[in-house]
């Protein structure tokens, strides 16, 4: 088990509805030493890639993305969740269905911060069905930029997102892949790699 798998095993809580709670170190209280180790690991895994920007999504991706960005020495842009609809023009817009809140959000990024010279590493905390990633990829594409890679803390391997994103040909690196989890026993199994 790697450092993140060990921490999930120790402090993660399995909830009904395929939700893994990691509020004590990732999603609410944040363990910055752990984020630093994640940054170091992503830096290794994306070695040689020309990355000049990190893109994430509000809210829980922001903390991780900021610490990861220190290892790449690049700025972070986060897609904002917005209720407004009349933003076309100055904004790239994508529709994202929230896995945890079961609602649709528009996410927006100002055209000022992404363009055809953007070589983007997308970072997020979780990958479930891949809706958030699809939205972020769509935004980079709309800007004419390049997705150089995708770094995820926790992929739930029993949901469809990982397979879908890898089939699209992206380098997707998930630091922990949960293959099964049981809310009754609390047992979490990780993919052997």
**Interface residue list for ligand 5GP (CB under 6 A):** 19-22, 27, 57, 60, 99-100, 124-132, 156, 161
CB of 6 to ligand 5GP, least distance (A): 18
CB of 101 to ligand 5GP, least distance (A): 8
Beta pairing, strands 53-57 & 76-82: parallel
Could you tell me if 1 and 176 are in contact, meaning their C-beta atoms sit under 8 angstroms apart?
no
Output 137 or 143, the one with its CB closest to ligand 5GP: 137
Compute, in degrees rounded to 10, the torsion defined by CA atoms 120, 126, 130, 131.
-90
Output 38 or 127, the one with its CB closest to ligand 5GP: 127
Output 44 or 104, the one with its CB closest to ligand 5GP: 104
Taking CA 173 as the corner, what is the angle to CA 107 and CA 114, rounded to the nearest 5 degrees? 35
Residue that the structure tokens 């929230």 belong to = 98
CB of 22 to ligand 5GP, least distance (A): 6
């Amino acid at each position: 088990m790697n450092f993140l798998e060990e921490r999930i095993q120790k402090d993660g809580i399995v909830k009904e509805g395929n939700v893994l709670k990691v509020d004590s170190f990732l999603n609410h209280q944040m363990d910055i030493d752990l984020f630093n180790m994640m940054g170091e690991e992503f830096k290794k895994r994306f070695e040689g890639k020309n990355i000049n920007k990190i893109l994430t999504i509000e809210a829980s991706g922001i903390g991780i993305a900021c610490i990861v960005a220190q290892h790449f020495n690049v700025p972070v842009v986060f897609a904002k969740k917005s209720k407004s609809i009349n933003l076309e023009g100055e904004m790239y817009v994508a529709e994202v269905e929230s896995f945890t809140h079961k609602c649709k959000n528009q996410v927006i990024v100002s055209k000022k911060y992404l363009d055809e010279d953007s070589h983007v590493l997308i970072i997020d905390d979780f990958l479930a069905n891949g809706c958030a990633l699809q939205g972020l990829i769509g935004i980079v594409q709309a800007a004419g930029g390049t997705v150089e890679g995708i770094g995820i803390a926790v992929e739930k391997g029993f949901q469809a997102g990982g397979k879908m994103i890898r089939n699209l040909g992206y380098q997707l690196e998930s630091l922990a892949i949960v293959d099964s989890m049981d809310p009754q026993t609390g047992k979490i199994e990780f993919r052997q790699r």
